[in-house]
A and B are shown apart, each in its own frame.
Chain A
Amino acid sequence: MSYVAIKNIRKTFNDQTVLHDIELSFEKGELVTLLGPSGCGKSTLLRILAGLTRQDSGTISLDGKDITNLKPKAREIGMVFQSYALFPNMTVLENISFGLKMKKEDSQTIKNKVARMIELTGLEGKENSYPRELSGGQQQRVALARSLVMEPKVLLLDEPLSALDAQIRKKLQQQLRTIQRELKMTMVLVTHDQEEAMAISDRIFILNQGRIAQQGTPNEIYARPANEFVAGFIGNYNVLTKEELARFIPNVANWSHSIYAIRPEAFTLKKDGKSYEITGLINQVSMLGNITRYTIQNDKMTMMIDQLHQTQSTLQENESRTFFLREEDIIPIA
């Protein structure tokens, strides 16, 4: 049996079903991500796991124990909120030790555990600061420490990094992953940022309109999107119908599927084994740092192509070029 097993969870708000009999499970020590656009039900599912929202039906078990009807504090689950939810009238030290005090741990234990968390999250020197005196990144680390110090069986993170600027977000993503591995903590991260999900997850569950659209490792999901929604949501896939594809590749008439997805970086300028030739007019060139993105057009149909940036060989707009695409990089999805 899985460490965490969610079975047939259904939730309806005002006649609108936001979760349709969700089934998912994961193992101890995994960092799993619930990924999806806003309104897909991922935060609701997280709140149901924490016991903050009641499901209409379904069960949740944790470490072999049914926790479906337990109160939040009895579930041994921690949660970090998007808005940090730090107590403004308490110092960093008081915020982190709050839960342990509620548990009536003795003061020496509290002192030791809190000191360890402060060290782990790099908050040394901020012990006596109040939340309003801290930066967003520091506040989020306090929120993380406050949950981790309780040694929960599962830690839930509700878009914990989305209010931070890009640079700090990247740094905290790595720090989160390092801490998770060091403590072998089971974590569930909710995010709408596919890059973030790809970067730090062991496993990703993609949600769409209250249903799981696909689950798998980041690699599996990126390489083999299971349906049109996932292909459109992950990366910058070119999603084309068979008819649209026919404008670039002849002889597709007898192919079995009706929709195909192609990663923009799968195109090469050199022929490599059994490849299709894709020819078109380059009508847009945009620099995205380490890659250059070209839009090529053929018979009113466009395709996005990413190439690693090379100063010498940048292609020009209005230039007609032929790219090569290997057969296995055309992924049938529907």
Chain B
Amino acid sequence: MKRMNWFAASFLIPFSIMVLMFLIVPILSMIYDSFQKSGTGFTFENYQTVFESDFYLQAFANSIKISLFSSLLALFAAIFATYSLTKFPQSVQDKVMNFANLTSNFAGVPLAFAFIILLGNSGLFVLLFEKMGISGMSSFNLYSMAGIILIYIYFQLPLAVMLLFPIYHGIQDQWKEAASILGASNTQFWLRIGVPVILPSLVGTFSILFANAMGAYATVYALTGSSYNMLPVRIGALVSGDVFAQPELASALALALGVILVIAMLFNEWLMRMVRRDLR
């Protein structure tokens, strides 16, 4: 057995302490809190409240829908965008990746504000299209589910591009050449070899996008205040307290959110293994 290098391992101590203090302890305290109600001791009452309330269930539904659609659409667009990017010279690739890095981090209040200016009720494009007599924009409402999905895609797409970019280098040119000599068209190559090979990365990327969207708070809060019913907004309201704080109920909601993410991840893994039998 390899001997442990205690000197090197000692450098992990500050990191381990930080993970413990700011990740493990809060999660444990959150789990504990979610089963508490001021003064009554252990109880399922918080969960009962969450799952019996149409209001909270609607927050779950909205969050899942918006996360699912924005992740799927961003992933779908990124698959093509990234492939196209790999066909450009290295210098262009570098510039686009820098830009993607920047925009994927451009979320929250500034992003919501940018969209309000461009697509809000008196947004630049809305007024412009109105003047040009194009009526399509008038039915678009930035503060609806479609609007929120659009904003989410804005920061999900560059993240997806960054995550997918390296995987295309995993597709060997010689697989394509071998397939073409064996009589496969380009489409057949992608269907039978290309996509199955990159599938694990697609699934992993989807999981990250989904989690990213489920937890996004500032963007939707800046855009709609607390008027649009989504899970992070509800948790935020319960913690900071519109009327009075209910951290126990917030813990129960947060734990439910975590469980949804874990289920989504396990489902993705299972689905992938159905297609990629060689990875079993």
Asked if A132 is an interface residue, CB under 8 A from chain B, the answer is yes
Residues of B within 8 A of A (CB-CB), count = 18
B-contacting residues, A124-179, CB 8 Å? 130, 132, 146-147, 150
Chain A interface residue count, CB cutoff 8 Å, equals: 26
At the interface, yes or no: A98 with Cβ under 8 Å from chain B? yes
Q: Name the residue on B nearest A91 (C-beta).
A: B278
Within 8 A of B (CB), among A60-107: 71-73, 77-79, 81, 83, 85, 87-91, 98-99, 102-103
Supposing A89-B278, A132-B278 touch, asked if A72 and B181 sit within 8 A by C-beta, the answer is yes
**Sample of 7 further A-B pairs with CB below 8 A, known A73-B181, A73-B183:** A71-B180, A77-B181, A81-B178, A85-B174, A85-B175, A89-B197, A89-B276
Q: How far is the CA of A98 from the CA of B191 in the complex (A)?
A: 13
- By a CB distance below 8 angstroms, the chain A residues around B184 are 73, 98, 102
Chain B CB within 8 A of A269 CB = no
CB < 8 Å: which of A51, A83, A91, A98 contacts B182? A98
Of B174, B177, B182, B192, chain A has the most CB atoms within 10 Å of the CB of: B182
Contact (Cβ within 8 A) A99 B278: no
Asked whether A79 lies within 8 Å of B181 as measured between CB atoms, the reply is: yes
A88 to B278 CA separation, bound complex (whole angstroms): 8
B272 to chain A minimum Cβ distance, whole angstroms, is: 11
Contact assessment for A89 and B196 in the assembled complex, using a CB-CB cutoff below 8 Å: yes
Q: How far is the CB of B202 from chain A (nearest CB, A)?
A: 13
Query: Is the CB–CB distance between A83 and B172 below 8 Å?
Result: yes
Asked if A18 is at the interface of the complex by the 8 Å CB criterion, the answer is no
* Chain B residue at minimal CB-CB distance from A99: B182
Seen from chain B, the residues whose Cβ lies within 8 Å of a Cβ on chain A are 172, 174-175, 177-184, 188, 192-193, 196-197, 276, 278
Closest CB in chain B relative to A210 CB, distance in Å: 22
Q: What distance in Å separates the Cβ of B184 from its nearest Cβ neighbour in chain A?
A: 5
Instruction: Report A-chain residues with C-beta under 8 Å of the C-beta of B196.
Output: 89
Task: State whether A81 touches B182 (Cβ < 8 A).
Answer: no
Question: What is the minimal beta-carbon distance from B55 to any residue of chain A, in angstroms?
Answer: 46
- Say how far A171's CB is from chain B's closest CB, in angstroms: 24
> Is the CB–CB distance between A102 and B183 below 8 Å?
yes
Does B182 lie within 8 Å of A73, measured CB to CB?
yes
Contacts of A150 in B (CB 8 A): 182-183
Contact between A52 and B177 (Cβ–Cβ < 8 Å)?
Answer: yes
Decide: A99 and B174 in contact? CB cutoff 8 A. no
Please state if A85 and B172 are interface contacts (CB–CB under 8 Å). yes
Q: Are B276 and A103 in contact (CB under 8 A)?
A: no
CB distance from B275 to the nearest CB of A (A): 8
Asked if B276 and A102 sit within 8 Å, CB to CB, the answer is no
Q: Does A31 contact B (CB under 8 A)?
A: no
* Bound Cα distance A49, B129 (Å): 57
Complex contact A98–B174 (CB within 8 A): no
Residues of A within 8 A of B276 (CB): 89
Whether B174 lies near A83 (C-beta < 8 A) is yes
